[in-house]
A and B are shown apart, each in its own frame.
Chain A
Amino acid sequence: MQDWLTALADLFVGNFWIWAVIGAWSGFIIGSIPGLGPVFALALAIPLTFGMEPLSAMILLGSIYCGTVTGGSVSSVLLNIPGTTGSIATCWDGFSLAKQGRAAEALGAGIMSSTLGTFIGLICLAFLGPLLGRLVAYIGPVEYFSLIILAFAFVAAASKGEAIKGFIMGGVGLLFAFVGMDVITAYERFTFGSLFLMDGVPFGPAVIGIFAFSQLINSAIKGQSISHGEKVTGNVLPGVIAVFKHPITVVKAWIVGIIAGVMPGLGINIGNIMAYMLEKNASKTQEEKDSFGKGNIRGIIAPEVANNATAYANLSSSFALGIPSGSSDAILLGGLILWGLTPGKAFFDTSQSLFFPTLVWGMALAPLILLPGLFIIKYLAKITEIKPYTLLPLVTVISILGSLSSRGHIFDIWVMIVFGFIGYILDRGGFPLSTLVISLVLGTLLETNMSRALRISDGSWAIFVQKPVSLIVLIISLIIVLGAFVDLKTPLVNFFNRFKFMSKLKIGK
């Protein structure tokens, strides 16, 4: 209690507010620029914190982190370009709403959902962090491998249209993920002799190409503004209210976000897509399911709640175990070490003077971003009314710069062009791009854990069914895959209806 009170007292220190405001707003703006996510912002800010006291530095970096994750939804909705990798799923319904002239509503829902996600992520960090961190330590490569298989099955089966297309795109994404040096043997694969591909297909330019550049090609063909001539309503309130009208969606996304957050390696890029797919699969009717990707507000709420919850839940396992869950966590942990603090379990026990203020400031930062954000985004939404001959060349140049900014190589622009063309063709053919991207993210993780597990078992594949958790997860994955091709519900209902007492329950009617 004493720690909380001390941390609350820090809220009255003016200097801290300056860092919080600078960090939150610069983070929000950087997050809304395609290609510049939390990693970019944190990497730039770390050198600035060398001369600062640890608490000021943590407040600055924490506010930047919070701002970038929240700001990621802006370009997802307005331009169909994920501001951060945690906003990929937000594009699917956010941009569809923007095309209907409802960009402000989508942005309102996005920013409100992000704020709720931040709160729950912080609560998770405060109360569950040390406990979950210890639990995660019991999950080994075997269980990770199975969980990733489950993620694949889940995403591919929920693909728009036929599941078989989802599985094909999953395979293609994985093959792209295998490009570069093998993480275990360091053997060069599918690089065609290019040094630029040694580290694999650069994720940022590939995502910008698949989602943004392909969309720009489509926009050029159609020759319409993003809102298709519809006037933007300019009212964020319906979006904000919609978030509170879907409490179940929010709770489910929180849970998914936290699960994705506490597992090292998954992170916001997986959490937001998983939350989206869960929400889509929970649809009661086919018509409702089909509305996802065409402007369903729940398709914004779920990923935005999840990505902010994941971002903070990520920190709980990172701080507790000292193992970063992603690049941005790695930068934050690097900062801790630079300031003379020890990450790991000791961070919660001995560094309370820093841990609790971090939480309190996180809570304070959420409304700091929400309130001005709600005011300004209705003006940002007007972007969707701009004619394509004005907007399209500018967004194309921003996409090019977004691709270039990740590593500074011209080669990355070529990656964007190639993936943009692939994305355009696949989209026209009705193949789901989301499965392609999630496979690109998970490929390395899948292979690393598989190789580690096989090394443990001396090359025996039986290890994946010998561990109970892994076996259960694999059985669930198999059911999901089979369910995508075969109608499992009818025979199950018939089976249970053989029993009179089950018939009375009217299962399946």
Chain B
Amino acid sequence: MVRRLWQTDKLSLAILIAVSIMCIYAIVEAGTFPVEAGRLPRVIAAVTLVFCVLMLGKMFLSPAAENDDAAGDNNVCGDNEEDSNISLKDLFINKGSALLLGVVVFTLLMEYIGFIITSVLFMVAMGLYLGQKKKVFNLVYAIVCSLLLYWIFADLFSIPLPEIIF
């Protein structure tokens, strides 16, 4: 049944398992806190865990989990328009993940080469990756936007942005 459920609604199942683990961790960890500091986190984590178990129970008892024919046709817990029976490959290997990776690299690089250079590199790379054909326009656009944003945030609003360190 678990296998069938995994096939029909693996994303919801994965989320519920992750939340349950988080709740169990919170209950155990809050047990080490002083009474006043740990009381509410323990209660909330326990109540959330109960809801997770109820949800899992509901999913197991739903027709989609029992009926092979229903597999793939029924989003058990979903009201979501998106198909929650999405494969892990489709979920994680896509242009969205590339954007996520790009932002991670942006954050890591910004401390060393400063905001302006990182921003220009990021905007040029992401623009090209997402389908921008006009390369010169892409470069000019990235430079102008980066300088404008730097001026607005660093000069106008006095927010210190990372500078190049060498």
Contacts and interface: CB of A to CB of B under 8 A. Distances in A.
Contacts of A182: 33, 36-37
Interface in A186-204: 187, 189-190
Contacts of A164: 51, 54-55, 58
A413 B51 CA distance: 31
B127 A393 contact: yes
Contact of A429 (B22, B29, B80): B80
Interface in B8-43: 11-12, 14-16, 19, 22-23, 26, 29-30, 33-34, 36-38, 40-41
A174 B47 CA distance: 11
A184 interface: yes
A446 B77 CA distance: 29
B126 A392 contact: yes
Interface string B131-156: 11000000001100110010011000
Interface centre among B75, B100, B161 (most CB of A within 10 A): B100
B130 A388 contact: yes
B164 interface: no
B103 interface: yes
Contacts of B86: 428
A363 B38 CA distance: 48
Interface stretch (A217-225, A298-306, A316-324): A217-225
Contact of A220 (B55, B95, B107): B95
A446 B39 CA distance: 12
A286 B90 CA distance: 32
Contacts of B78: 161, 429-430
B34 A171 contact: no
B71 interface: no
B99 A216 contact: yes
Nearest to A413: B107
Interface in A367-410: 387-390, 392-394, 396-398, 400-401, 404-405, 408, 410
A447 B40 CA distance: 7
Contacts of A394: 123, 145
A450 interface: yes
B44 interface: yes
Interface residues of A, number: 63
B96 A220 contact: yes
Interface in B83-115: 84, 86, 91, 94-100, 102-104, 106-107, 110-111
A117 to B, nearest CB: 27
A168 B52 contact: yes
A405 B152 CA distance: 11
Interface residues of B, number: 72
A239 interface: no
Nearest to A170: B48
Given A218-B96, A421-B100, A447-B40, A414 B107 contact: yes
A38 interface: no
Main secondary structure of the interface of A (DSSP, over half): helix
B48 to A, nearest CB: 3
Interface string A404-424: 110010100110010011001
Given A175-B23, A178-B40, A408-B160, A430 B149 contact: no
B69 interface: no
B85 to A, nearest CB: 11
B54 to A, nearest CB: 6
Nearest to A485: B54
Given A174-B44, A221-B94, A420-B100, A410 B111 contact: yes
Contacts of B82: 427-428, 430
Interface string A8-38: 0000000000000000000000000100100
Contact of B22 (A172, A217, A400): A172
A165 B36 contact: no
A216 to B, nearest CB: 6
Contacts of B64: none
Contacts of B23: 171, 175
A95 to B, nearest CB: 15
A397 B41 contact: no
A212 to B, nearest CB: 12
Contact of B107 (A160, A400, A451): A400
B122 interface: yes
A167 interface: yes
A178 to B, nearest CB: 5
A187 B55 contact: no
Contact of B104 (A217, A221, A417, A447): A417
Given A175-B45, A429-B12, A390 B141 contact: yes
Interface centre among B48, B103, B126, B127 (most CB of A within 10 A): B103
Contacts of A400: 103, 106-107
Contacts of A165: 55, 77
13 contacts: A162-B77, A168-B55, A178-B41, A184-B36, A189-B38, A189-B41, A389-B126, A393-B126, A396-B122, A397-B146, A397-B149, A430-B78, A447-B40
Interface of B: 11-12, 14-16, 19, 22-23, 26, 29-30, 33-34, 36-38, 40-41, 44-45, 47-48, 51-52, 54-55, 58, 75, 77-80, 82, 84, 86, 91, 94-100, 102-104, 106-107, 110-111, 119, 122-123, 126-128, 130-132, 141-142, 145-146, 149, 152-153, 157-162
A-B pairs with lowest CB-CB distance, top 4? A171-B48, A161-B79, A430-B80, A217-B96
